Structure 1
Amino acid sequence: MASEYYTRREMDFPKVVSREEFTAARKKLLESEKELSRERDRVNAERRALPMVEIEKDYVFDGPDGKLSLVDMFEGRRQLIVYHFMLQPGSHHLCPGCTMLSDNVGHLAHLHDRETTFAAVSRAPLAEITPVHQRMGWAFPWYSSEGSDFNYDFHVTLDADVVPVEYNYRTAEELEEAGLGWMLGEQRDWHGLSVFLQRTGRVYHTYSTYARGTDLLNGTFNYLDLTPLGRQGDGFFSPSREGME
C-alpha cells in the first residue's frame, strides 16, 4: 500500500533546480514563515485574552484511585488541559487519530513545571479505559466521565436527546450544510480539547477546540508538514478533509 502511495505521488515531487534557485525560493518562503509566526503570536495572545466561564456543575469522574471532581484533576496546579479521547462505552474501536495524538504527548514534567496538568477523558467506563491505557503505555492520567454530563456539555458527545447537537461551534444544521452530516450517525463521540483554570478552588473554562484545532498537539504531523510528502494520507486530521478546519 505504501508503494502505491509513493508511485501515485511521484508526479508531485519538487522539481530539481540549482542551489542558487533553491536559495532564492527558500528565502521567499522564509518571509511567509515569518509572517505566519507573527500571526500565530497574535492569535495566541487573542486566545489568552478570551473571557472565561465559571464551572458551576459538580462533575464526577472515575479514576484509578476512585471518584474525583474536576478540581481534583488539576492535581494542585493552576491549569488543566483535557483531551477528549474518542472512546464511547462498549466500543472496541480505538480511534487512530486520538491514539496517534496521545502517542505524541511529551514529557509531562515540562507542563507540570509550568503549573499545568494534562489528562484525557472519555465516556467509556474505567474498566474499558484501563486496559487500553496500560497496553499503550501512556503516562498521562485518563479518566472516565461515564454517568456525567461532561462530554455532552463540552460537545464531544453528540446526542440531541441529551443536549442540542453542536460540534466545533456548529449546530446540527450547520454541520449538514458544511457536508459533515456523517458526524451525526451512530458514532456519537468525537475528539476535542478543553482548557480550565482554577482560582481558590473555583474552576473556569477558558478554551475549547475541535477538529483540526488539535493539530498543534500532534508532533508527528508538525514534523511531516516540513517534508515534501507531507502527512501522506486523508485521515480525520488531514488538511484535505473538507469542512474539518
Structure 2
Amino acid sequence: MTEMQSSETREISGVARRIVSLKAWQEDLREIRKAEKELTLAHDRVAAKRRHSAWMKVDRNYDFAGPEGSATLADLFDGRAQLIVYHHMLKPSDPSPCVGCCMVADQLPHLSHLHARDTSLVFVSKAPTVEIEAFQKRMGWSIPWFETKDSFNPDFDVSPTGFGLNIFYRDGDDIYRTYFTKGRGLETLGTVWTFLDLTPLGRQENWENAPSGTQQSKPYHWWRRHNEYD
C-alpha cells in the first residue's frame, strides 16, 4: 500500500477523522509543533511587554477583613514585593457561587513556588469573612482570602458582580498597579509560569527580556519541591 493509499477517513464516535500512516502522522505533528512554538514565542514577547509596561501608583488606602481581622492592601502582600489579586464573585449569602471562579481556585499552583519568587496570591470577595471561611472549608481550599470593605473592586475595574485579576508591586510604603485582565484573559492561568508571566518581575530567569536591574537567576536553579524552600 502506498503512502497516498494509506490515508482514509473514518467516522469515530460520530465525528469524521483522518486515519493515516506513521509517516503522515509525524508530518502532521511537525506542523502542529511549529505552530505551538510560534505561539510560545509570541507569549514570551507579550510577557516581556508586561514587564516593560507602565505602572500606576495607588494613592489611597483600602480596607479588608481576613481570618486575623482587619487588613490593608499592604498587608495582603505578606511581606513580599509582588501581589496577585483574584477578584472572586462570591457575594453575601451566595446561593450559587460562580462556577468559573471556583474552577480558577481549583487550578491554582502550590503557592510556595510563587512565594519563592517574592510573589503573593490572594482572593478577595464581597462576601463576609465568616461566609468565605465556610465556603473554603466546603471546597477544601486554603487560599488567603479577604473580604473587601470599600470601593476596591470598582476602583480596579471589577464590577460589583464581576471578576478579574490585578497585579500590584510594593516598594517600601508605595504600592503600584502594574497589570489587569479579565474574561478570557484568565482562562489559561493555573501554573506557576502563567502567573509569574503576568508580574513585573516575571519568572526572574536570565533568558527573559526584562528591564535593566531586574534580579534574575539561571532557569531551574531556584526550583524546589514545595516543602523544601527556605
Give the CA deviation at 1:26.
Answer: 0.6
Give the CA deviation at 1:13.
Answer: 5.7
Number of residue pairs the alignment of both structures matches: 181
Partner residue of 2:197?
none
Partner residue of 2:25?
22
RMSD: 1.7
Question: Tell me, which stretches of 5 or more residues in structure 2 are unaligned?
Answer: 1-11, 195-230
User: Structure 1-normalised TM-score?
Assistant: 0.70
Q: Secondary structure at the match of 2:142?
A: coil
Q: Is the 8 A contact 2:58 2:177 kept in 1?
A: yes
Partner residue of 1:181?
none
Distance (whole Å) between structure 1 residues aligned to residue 16 and residue 58 of structure 2: 50
Letter in 2 for 1:36: L
Distance (whole Å) between structure 1 residues aligned to residue 101 and residue 119 of structure 2: 21
Q: Is the 8 A contact 1:86 1:98 kept in 2?
A: yes
Q: Secondary structure at the match of 2:180?
A: strand
Q: Is the 8 A contact 1:100 1:218 kept in 2?
A: no
Partner residue of 1:193?
165
Distance 1:209 1:12, change over 3 A: farther
Q: Is the 8 A contact 2:81 2:170 kept in 1?
A: yes
User: Structure 2-normalised TM-score?
Assistant: 0.75
Partner residue of 1:234?
none
Q: Is the 8 A contact 2:91 2:126 kept in 1?
A: yes
1:11-60 alpha-carbon deviations (Å, 9 max, x no partner): 44642211111101111111111111111110010011111111111100
Question: Tell me, which stretches of 5 or more residues in structure 1 are unaligned?
Answer: 1-8, 158-187, 223-245
Partner residue of 2:70?
67
Structure with the largest fraction of helix: 1
Q: Which has more radius of gyration? A: 2
Q: Secondary structure at the match of 2:34?
A: helix
Partner residue of 2:152?
150
Q: 1:140 aligns with which of 136, 140, 143?
A: 143
Q: Is the 8 A contact 1:63 1:142 kept in 2?
A: yes
Distance (whole Å) between structure 2 residues aligned to residue 12 and residue 33 of structure 1: 24
